[in-house]
Amino acid sequence: MSTSTLESFKVETSDGVKLQTRVFKPKDEARQNLVVVLVHPYSIMGGCQGLLRGIACGIAESGYRAVTFDMRGAGKSSGRASLTGFAEIKDVVAVCKWVCENLSVHRILLVGSSAGAPIAGSSVDLIEQVVGYVSLGYPFGLTSSILFGRHHNAILRSPKPKLFVMGTRDGFTSVKQLQNKLKSAAGRVESHLIQGASHFEMEGLAYDSQMVDLILRFLSSL
């Protein structure tokens, strides 16, 4: 029996893109003070909000509202996906603004998965209400940095608390590359390694409950 409910909305960005957005609500809305906004993996490789449904449900069942959305060009959203994810920053900002205005909330935890992590990371300091950031498999590696390298500085320089979660067998970023990047990060920085997990394995359903636990533990420390 589900302990959460789901509602769908359309959110319009500053440049007129309409984003299909879903709000996962606990049956008992005891924790109204914070919403978790989740940013899905790379649209061009088939990323969509459906990949984050398990995590969003787990967060809602733990008493917090969670929001997922299809970025431009993905799922039922209009617009066209960009190669580098810079246009999608407008999507994250629009959804967070909508959350604040329509869900009467002033605190947001921003969570990005895979390519959604650099996009979310570049949005953190553009949204005053974001109080923390969680990355699930940030692509810091050399090859992926061709596409996403220009996003790195935004999150590494942000003073807001941040948690980086990664599998030790991530094919895009080595543990050493992650550690080297985080040495230069400002503010409170935490990392958590999932032993033996590859990049795409960690995105799978088998790891959803572990991702939820890590997000909630970090959230409770904010």
Q: Is the pLDDT of residue 50 over 70?
A: yes
pLDDT in tens, 155-173: 999 999 999 999 999 999 9
Q: pLDDT-derived band of residue 128, with 50, 70 and 90 as boundaries?
A: very high
Q: Is the pLDDT of residue 93 over 60?
A: yes
- The whole-chain average pLDDT of the chain stands at 94
Structural domains for the chain: 4-220 (3.40.50.1820)
Q: In the prediction, which pLDDT does 190 show?
A: 97
214-to-54, 67, 132, 217 alpha-carbon distances in Å = 14, 17, 13, 5
Q: Is the pLDDT of residue 125 over 90?
A: yes
Q: In the prediction, which pLDDT does 143 show?
A: 86
pLDDT in tens, 21-34: 999 999 876 567 89
Q: Any idea what DSSP says for residue 174?
A: -
Q: pLDDT-derived band of residue 3, with 50, 70 and 90 as boundaries?
A: low
Q: In the prediction, which pLDDT does 1 show?
A: 39
Place of tokens 């989740």: 38
Of the candidates 17, 38, 128, the one whose C-alpha atom is nearest the C-alpha of residue 82 is 17
The average pLDDT across 43-50 equals 92
DSSP of 17-47? -EEEEEEEEESS----S-EEEEE-S-GGGT-
